[in-house]
Structure formats: structure tokens, C-alpha cells
Amino acid sequence: MSGLLDPPYGERDRFGMAARIAGIPAQIGEALARLAERPWPAPPRPPARLAVGGMGGSAIAADLTRGLYEDRLPRPLEVVRGYRWPGWVGGDALTLLSSYSGETEETLALYRDAGGRGAMRLALSTGGTLGACCARDGVFVHPLPPGSPPRAALFSSWVALTGLLHALGWVEDPAPGWREAAARLAEREAELGPAVPETRNPAKRLARGLAGRLVYLYAGSGPLEAVALRWRQQLHENAKLLAHSAVVPELDHNEIVGWERPGALHRGIAVVVLHDPEDAPEIRTRLTLTGEYARRQGAAVHEWEAAPGPRLARLASLVQFGDYLSLYLALLAGADPTPIASIDAFKRRLATQGDSPA
């Protein structure tokens, strides 16, 4: 059992997810270079809001960007996961269609819907059908590097999206912050990477504590809400593990009641409470009390504190930690972290229904 987390991983990681996670610092540097080579164009008119349309690994960068800047944005940034824009998307909105493959049917539907509403459009993609539509319609596409699972290209999208906000004049130049974050993530490889033994590797130790359990991720509303969502998605896709995320104070007004009746189910749950140095005192108190309550009801509770430092570096470090955590949980479960057979099978079934809008 102890050797499951020791490299080399070989056939247990046939498609190299461990190497992709280790390559995050380089991915940031390459994304900054692409942004300098192909900067975002100025929109034809100042947008009243930015609406990002995407799914899964192509949408989470927008959630993280909103969390990063939410207390500084002069205009709303909203993330839409679906086939149609809400009513407020019109001619004064800038829409960003984010699809790594360029084949996501929901995002293609949003592309058409935005055009019908007279909304301004940009795209973030490797190409595909979305790229072809943009070329036909004269819509600018910021390129993403091909050949990766979308979730493993997160930092390429995240850097590009922060660059878009800077191009709009909504935030300061993010490049210095990204360079600092990349340096911190490179240093953390010496703590979190596969070559670091479990006794000195906090991601491996936490994975050991979560293995075999349902995982509940609790954070405060604010910047870490998107981090909890990213961890949840990575546990789903990489570790093939059911997970759940929620935030205080909202969960203390409803979800906490679900813990009232302790039993076998609660004993099979592990709760990870995420703390951030910027958490307000009220949020920190709620997280602490919520974790204590879940522990009394039978759950295994683990607390994780974000390291101090600038917000961008903190969030990026937490994302890196969650990626490694999902990798190590996959290895403990004997699952190859890269394939997503369930999604592939579902798409094939969906394609046979004959009513797909793609």
C-alpha cells in the first residue's frame, strides 16, 4: 500500500498527468508569452459586463478569476454554464466563449446565441468548430496550446483571462503576479511532487487520510469558493471520486442540518476545511465551528490553511495542491488519472439522441 504513491508511475499514469501537474510553472510562463505575442483586442465599445460561457475545465478559469478580483472589478464578471445566455446579455455585454477543444456543444450554442443578441464576442480555444466559426465571423480567438486534457490546461486559460481583464482596463497588469506565482509553484515541487516521500509530502498525507471516503470541501465565500470547486472537479475527473463543495455562511443556514443524525454515512465522509489568511473573522469562526460539528457527528475532518502571500500566488498554490491531491488519490485507488471514460460514453449516448444543438 505504501508504495502506491512512490514513482515511477509507469502504466498507472499512462498519459502523464503527474508530469502535466509538475509542468504548471512552465505553463504559466508560456501563457504569458502567448499573451504578449497575441494580446486581446480592444472591444468595439466599452462593455457593461463580461459573460464567460464554458463548461468544466474550460469554465473554471473564469470562476478563479472572479474570485481573484471580485472586490476590485468595476463591472460584473459572470460565468454561464449552459446553452442559453440569461436575459441581461445583450449589445452592451462582452461574451467570451471558452472551449478548449472548440467542440463543446453548449459553448457553440452560446456562440450562436450571443450573435443573435448582438453581443460582442471573443473566444478562447485550440480551434475546432468554434475556431472555424470565429474565422468565418471575424471573431478574435486567443489560442490555447493543443494536446492536453482541458482541466490540465487551466493555467493557460487563467493567465489569458486575467490578461483580458487588464486589456479592458478593469485590473492592473497581472504579469508580475503570475511570474511570482510561477516561482512559488516551482519551489513547492520540492514539497508536493511525486519524488517527495509521503512522510514529507503534505499532499500525499492528506490523500491517505481521504482515501476510501466521500470528500466534502468547505470554504468561505470569496476567493476560496472557486478553489473548492476546482478541487471538487479534480477529485471527480482525476481521482474518479465523488466529492462535494459548499461555502459558509450559506451552508450554516441549511446543509449543516444534514449532519444532525450521525450514522454510518457520516463515518464514511471526510471533510476538508479550507482556510485563507483573508477570511473575515466571522468566516473563520464559522468554518472552525462547522468543522468541529462535522467531527462530532462522525466525519473525519482535515483543515488546510493557505500559505500567506499575495492573493494570486495563494490561489495558484492551492490549485496546484488540489491537483496533486487528486493525482495521489487516483493512484491510491488504482485509477489512471487522465481518462474520463464516463464523460466519453455519455457524449456518445447524447450524440445518438438526435436532438443535440451542436
Annotation says 237 is catalytic: yes
Of 185, 187, 186, 211, nearest to 198 by C-alpha is 211
- Rounded Cα distance between 295 and 65, Å, is 32
Catalytic residue among 106, 237, 240, 266: 237
Torsion over CA: 97, 101, 103, 104 (sign): negative
Residue of 11, 37, 253, 260 marked active site:
253
Question: Exposure string (b/e) for 73-96, b if CB count within 10 Å is 16 or more?
Answer: beeebbbbbebebeeebeeebbbb
Residue 26 CB neighbour total at 10 angstroms: 13
Instruction: Measure the N-to-C terminal CA separation of the chain; round to a whole number of Å.
Output: 45
User: Which DSSP symbol is given to 40?
Assistant: P
The answer to whether residue 240 is catalytic is no
Residue 206 vs residues 127, 191, 209, 272: alpha-carbon distances, Å: 38, 13, 5, 9
Catalytic residue among 166, 244, 302, 347: 347
Location of C-alpha cell 503570475: 178
Where in 73-163 does DSSP place strands (E)?
Answer: 77-80, 93-99, 120-125, 141-143
Helices (H), 193-303: 202-210, 223-237, 264-267, 281-296
* Residues labelled as active-site residues: 237, 253, 347
